[in-house]
Amino acid sequence: MRLRRYGRIAVELSASISGGSSRAQGVILDISLTGCRAQSSLAVKKDDFVGVLIDVPGHENPIYVTQAAIKWANAQEFGMEFLQMELNDRQRLQEIVQKQAGNR
C-alpha cells in the first residue's frame, strides 16, 4: 500500500465532474493538494480520466482541475489524483487546504 504524501482534509464542496461525453454533479468529501475523494452518479472506474470544477464558498470562480486520474471506485464514491491544473488554481487549492486544516 502506498502512503499519501499529503493528508486529506474533510470537506463538503459541490463539484461538477466530467469524463468523456458525460458530466454529473458531485460532492468532494475530502481533499488534499494532490487529490480528493468524491461522491457522484458519474460512472467511473479505476484509471479513467476526468475534469473537475470544485465550487468553493466565498470564491467567485471554481477551482478547475483539468485532468484527474481515478485511483479507485466503489459504487458512487471514488478517489482521484490531480494531474493537471493551472498554477492559479493550484495556489487557490493550497490556500483552501491550509485554511480548512487550520479550522480543524
The whole model's pTM is what?
0.88
pLDDT score for 5: 54
Please give the mean pLDDT across all residues of the chain: 90
Question: Which pLDDT belongs to residue 44?
Answer: 94
Quick one: pLDDT at residue 3? 42
Report residue 91: phi and psi, to 5°. Answer: -65, -40
| Statement: residue 9 has pLDDT above 80 | yes
CATH superfamily for 9-99 is predicted glycosyltransferase like domains (2.40.10.220)
- Separation between Cα atoms, residue 40 and residue 58, nearest integer Å: 23
Residue-range domain boundaries for the chain: 9-99
Average pLDDT score over residue span 30-55 = 96
